[in-house]
Chain A
Amino acid sequence: MKTVRRVSQLLFLLLFLVLFFQTARQIDWADGRMSVGAFLPADFFLRIDPLLGWTALAASRTFLVSVALWTVPVLLLTLLFGRAFCGWICPLGTLIDGADKGVRPIRERRTNRERSWPRLKYYVLAAVAASALLGSQLVWLLDPIALTFRSLTLGFFAPLDRAVHALSAVPGLGWMESPAVFPDQRAAYGSGFAALLMLAAILAGGVLSRRFWCRSLCPLGALLGVVARVPLFRRRVGTGCNECTLCQRDCKMDAIGAKGKRTSTAECIFCYSCDELCPQGAIRMAPGKPEKSLPLDLNRRRLVTGIGVGAVWGLGASSALARRSTRDGESRITGKWLIRPPGSAAEELFTERCVRCGACMKICPTNGLQPALSEGGLGAIWTPVLMPRVGECSQNCNLCGEVCPTDAIESFTIPEKEHLFIGRAVINRSSCVVWESHKQCLVCDEVCSYSAIYWLDESGAEIGHPTGEGDAEPSQGFPYVDPARCVGCGICEYNCPAGGPDAAIRVTRDGDKRHLSREEQRAWQAANWTEREGKPPLR
């Protein structure tokens, strides 16, 4: 059975990696329609994770059947087999098993007694639950599936892209570069190294004990541990046991009592190591009547501390307090550069739902979706923000909405994008070469997907385009942004030839209309629409 378990671990890890790479655009050559190229939902692992699903629901105080239903299989599995998910399925658990083998010499040189704090994870879970109930969930930081996906996206994918790009220049290796898997330009993500470091630190936990993360810190492990108090199947020790304690010393989860007989069902991950190891053949994993499990022995004061930490985060980082200071229902707490992908929920709901798995950033074909650091404050770290100078939001793309596991980005259609206002382009007149030095330049107008740039001459009259005899002549007109047409995609900012890091036209959050429903945004567009010569009419 141990072998079967190992095969299962490797297959699920493989599935996780396959789905990670399949979180990529697939383009229909007949009409250019894009879809997610995965044979299962690309966010499969994120969706089956009950901790992610339920905290996102709790934080947003909405019940979505679609989110809840996905979590049922893992909960059922846990009722039957305890924490088998951790031992058989969890990709991070499998990575940890691998890393534990690698750091074994260091661990054994350091200490002959492995160190872990099994109760700590319940306090972590308490903090996660409290933060979610108070509005700003903390689960994104420590959920194993979300953090693994995120670490791979932010920390691993970009270096891989560069390596593959470099290798594909070698004659005969050109096939290596598949444009569908990688963005059009070389991928790069802000704070990618920090994300990778977090994963590395978790894997390095093996220096203290095997499965250190799973024993001491994992909030998903803790949740499943609570569910697994009385599982149908469990480790049972028969009368042949001579209390040699071989299994007790070998157990990588430290789930076995001092004499080798009793088991902590909240810790046992069904790895079948003891069953195989026992010289007496006395151990079976079998169903039957409940036995007394080893107690959890939670310390009430620490549990309260955990809840307190979560509450402080939940209240402090969430918009629960700031919500009172909003006007017109539009949050005022968020930053100027906080441009969310189209289809995103209103800001408060968005940060409550977003588990920062990075799937949207992984699939964004221009690499424009980047992890936020300070753009939205403490409660928005590692949420996706559009940075148009890195890459625009492509007009004919809706893939981020397709891969979001918690509907922080709700799916949307291409035509809908014309009235999903995520921001608005603003021209900086002191760096725009037309405004500042009367030069001819119309790149923003040329590339605009929504025909949102219009021109006025010095008297304020609208003109078609300020072209004269050859463009060495000074421009006779000046560009303006039509707020009813500009949705904030940022293709102007990406292509603006002025400036280095800064463009002369930049998208800011001023114009973000996510606090309105899609229908209301459409109505707003219609109410503010101006027909302009030569430009397409209101759809």
Chain B
Amino acid sequence: MACGGAAIGGCGRGADSGGPGGSAAPGRASLTAGKGKGEVYVGKDADPVTALRSALAAAGGLEFIRPGSRVVLKPNAAWSRTPAQAANTDPRLLSAMIELCREAGAGKITIFEHTIDRPAAQVLAVSGIGAAARQGGAELIYGATERDFAPIEVPRGRMMKRDTLARAVLEADVFINMPKAKHHSQTQLTLGLKNLMGVNFNRQAWHSGPDLNQFIADYASAVAVDLTVMDASRILLTNGPKGPGKTREPGEVIVSFDPVAADAYACGLFDLDPSAVGYIGKAAELGLGEGTLSNIVVRRA
């Protein structure tokens, strides 16, 4: 298969072909590395913003953002679906996070998404993510083309050795992942680690590779996530990742410095054990975080 295997970057689809040029830059370490390993902070409220604020307060806030930092927020807004359909991150959470980052002293705030449905601008509008970014005065990058991505090394990867990362994320001081918790036909669930597929350029290559779950875990080992803020206010239970399908409202927002623990905790909302979601165990094996429920400390705010 032309696009298979771990040699990623040469199979760009659409008019731009070939991988982004230039040499791979070394990835930075997470600002919050080692902090709160195995700890998950959960806020619960009918209003997701209240849930977010209390979870974040329990986690100690955003004090790791140094004044003037360039912050990138990566919501899940892949699909042309409304917030009620629960296929994308709730725009209210994005608005609140923009505000909180700014209060914490952030400089330029950028919202990045590489949509799957098109046109990208419409997806951002239907999902409400575009309006939230604009009202919050954040830079909005969507409809990104190949040149918006740079090659990165994946030294710890088992199957993936190199890939691409959005330049905006690569150049940021702080990267906050804002996934949606929802059903996914292939990996069972889309959670935080899988949301990182949206900051790489060529998703097709992951799908046609030997093991999507291993690719997701490998990639997460090369992308420094400083905080995970997961939207589980309303979750999609069937027909994911795009829906429409059945939804449920746990009313939770999950905050964690440990990207694996956040995902492992969220499995419970779907009555699943983390072992059912392949990439969680594989990420834990790579030492990216705690993947076993019994070792995870849940602090409910």
Q: Are A394 and B213 in contact (CB under 8 A)?
A: no
Interface residues in B128-177 (C-beta closer than 8 Å to A): 130-131, 134, 142-143, 145, 147
Nearest-neighbour CB distance to chain A for B218, whole angstroms, equals 13
Q: Are A534 and B242 in contact (CB under 8 A)?
A: no
A304 to B145 CA separation, bound complex (whole angstroms): 56
Main secondary structure of the interface of A (DSSP, over half): loop
Q: Are B208 and A441 in contact (CB under 8 A)?
A: yes
CB-contact partner of B122 in A34, A448, A471, A500, under 8 A: A34
**Given A29-B131, A184-B143, A188-B15: A471 and B244 interface contact (C-beta under 8 Å):** no
Q: Are B119 and A25 in contact (CB under 8 A)?
A: yes
The number of residues on chain B lying at the interface, defined by a beta carbon within 8 Å of a beta carbon of chain A, is 52
Which of A148-156, A462-470, A510-518 contacts its partner? Answer: A462-470
Contact of B238 with A by CB under 8 A: yes
Q: Mark B238-271, 1 if CB is under 8 A from A, else 0.
A: 1101101110000000000000000000000000
Q: Are A32 and B208 in contact (CB under 8 A)?
A: no
A445 to B238 CA separation, bound complex (whole angstroms): 12
Q: Are A471 and B211 in contact (CB under 8 A)?
A: yes
A184 to B13 CA separation, bound complex (whole angstroms): 12
CB-CB < 8 A to B134: which residues of A? 29
A442 to B185 CA separation, bound complex (whole angstroms): 7
Contact of A30 with B by CB under 8 A: yes
**Given A442-B186, A535-B245: A27 and B122 interface contact (C-beta under 8 Å):** yes
Contact of A115 with B by CB under 8 A: no
CB-CB < 8 A to A244: which residues of B? none
A469 to B186 CA separation, bound complex (whole angstroms): 11
Nearest-neighbour CB distance to chain A for B282, whole angstroms, equals 8
B14: nearest residue on chain A (CB-CB)?
A185
Nearest-neighbour CB distance to chain B for A26, whole angstroms, equals 10
CB-CB < 8 A to A28: which residues of B? 125
Q: Are A471 and B187 in contact (CB under 8 A)?
A: yes
Q: Are B239 and A31 in contact (CB under 8 A)?
A: no
CB-CB < 8 A to B142: which residues of A? 179
**Given A442-B185, A445-B185: A472 and B210 interface contact (C-beta under 8 Å):** yes
**Given A446-B242, A469-B275: A497 and B125 interface contact (C-beta under 8 Å):** no
Contact of A186 with B by CB under 8 A: yes
CB-contact partner of B242 in A31, A186, A394, A449, under 8 A: A449
CB-CB < 8 A to B126: which residues of A? 31-32, 396
**Given A469-B278, A499-B2: A185 and B15 interface contact (C-beta under 8 Å):** yes
Q: Are B120 and A184 in contact (CB under 8 A)?
A: yes
Contact of A460 with B by CB under 8 A: no
Q: Are A467 and B186 in contact (CB under 8 A)?
A: yes
A31 to B14 CA separation, bound complex (whole angstroms): 27
Nearest-neighbour CB distance to chain B for A298, whole angstroms, equals 49
A183 to B120 CA separation, bound complex (whole angstroms): 10
Contact of A476 with B by CB under 8 A: no
**Given A449-B242, A470-B278, A471-B187: A30 and B212 interface contact (C-beta under 8 Å):** no
Contact of A451 with B by CB under 8 A: yes
Q: Are B145 and A470 in contact (CB under 8 A)?
A: no
Q: Mark A28-67, 1 if CB is under 8 A from B, else 0.
A: 1111101000000000000000000000000000000000
Interface residues in B217-247 (C-beta closer than 8 Å to A): 238-239, 241-242, 244-246
A28 to B125 CA separation, bound complex (whole angstroms): 7
Q: Are A433 and B131 in contact (CB under 8 A)?
A: no
CB-CB < 8 A to A449: which residues of B? 80, 117, 242
A475: nearest residue on chain B (CB-CB)?
B186
Interface residues in A180-205 (C-beta closer than 8 Å to B): 180, 183-188
Nearest-neighbour CB distance to chain B for A173, whole angstroms, equals 13
Q: Are B185 and A186 in contact (CB under 8 A)?
A: no
Contact of A536 with B by CB under 8 A: yes
Contact of A5 with B by CB under 8 A: no
A535 to B238 CA separation, bound complex (whole angstroms): 7
Nearest-neighbour CB distance to chain A for B7, whole angstroms, equals 14
A395 to B147 CA separation, bound complex (whole angstroms): 27
B115: nearest residue on chain A (CB-CB)?
A184
CB-contact partner of A471 in B14, B123, B278, under 8 A: B278
**Given A186-B15, A470-B211, A500-B2: A179 and B204 interface contact (C-beta under 8 Å):** no
A115 to B185 CA separation, bound complex (whole angstroms): 69
Interface residues in A443-461 (C-beta closer than 8 Å to B): 443, 445-449, 451
CB-CB < 8 A to B123: which residues of A? 32
A180 to B276 CA separation, bound complex (whole angstroms): 42
A391 to B117 CA separation, bound complex (whole angstroms): 11
Q: Which of B119, B134, B184 has the most chain A CB atoms inside 10 A of its CB?
A: B119
CB-contact partner of A394 in B122, B125, B214, B246, under 8 A: B122
CB-contact partner of B117 in A34, A395, A465, A467, under 8 A: A395
Nearest-neighbour CB distance to chain B for A397, whole angstroms, equals 7
B202: nearest residue on chain A (CB-CB)?
A497
B206: nearest residue on chain A (CB-CB)?
A497
Q: Which of B1, B118, B211 has the most chain A CB atoms inside 10 A of its CB?
A: B118
CB-CB < 8 A to B14: which residues of A? 185-186
**Given A179-B119, A396-B122, A497-B205: A165 and B244 interface contact (C-beta under 8 Å):** no
Nearest-neighbour CB distance to chain A for B69, whole angstroms, equals 22
Nearest-neighbour CB distance to chain B for A171, whole angstroms, equals 13
Nearest-neighbour CB distance to chain B for A184, whole angstroms, equals 5
Q: Are A495 and B116 in contact (CB under 8 A)?
A: yes
**Chain B interface residues toward A at CB < 8 A:** 1-3, 14-16, 80, 116-127, 130-131, 134, 142-143, 145, 147, 184-188, 204-205, 207-208, 210-214, 238-239, 241-242, 244-246, 275-276, 278, 281-282
**Chain A interface residues toward B at CB < 8 A:** 25, 27-32, 34, 165, 169, 179-180, 183-188, 365-366, 391-392, 394-397, 433, 440-443, 445-449, 451, 465, 467, 469-472, 491, 495, 497-500, 533-536
Q: Which 9 A-B pairs have the closest CB atoms?
A: A186-B15, A32-B126, A534-B238, A32-B125, A497-B208, A185-B14, A470-B278, A365-B119, A497-B204
A-B CB contact pairs (8 Å), 26 listed: A27-B121, A27-B122, A27-B125, A28-B125, A29-B125, A34-B119, A184-B118, A186-B14, A187-B15, A365-B118, A394-B80, A394-B119, A395-B117, A433-B208, A441-B207, A442-B185, A443-B204, A443-B207, A446-B242, A447-B117, A448-B242, A495-B116, A495-B204, A497-B1, A534-B246, A536-B245
List 19 additional contacts besides A29-B130, A440-B186, A467-B188; criterion CB under 8 Å: A29-B125, A32-B80, A169-B147, A179-B119, A179-B142, A187-B15, A366-B118, A395-B80, A396-B126, A433-B1, A447-B117, A467-B186, A469-B275, A470-B281, A471-B187, A472-B210, A497-B3, A498-B1, A534-B238
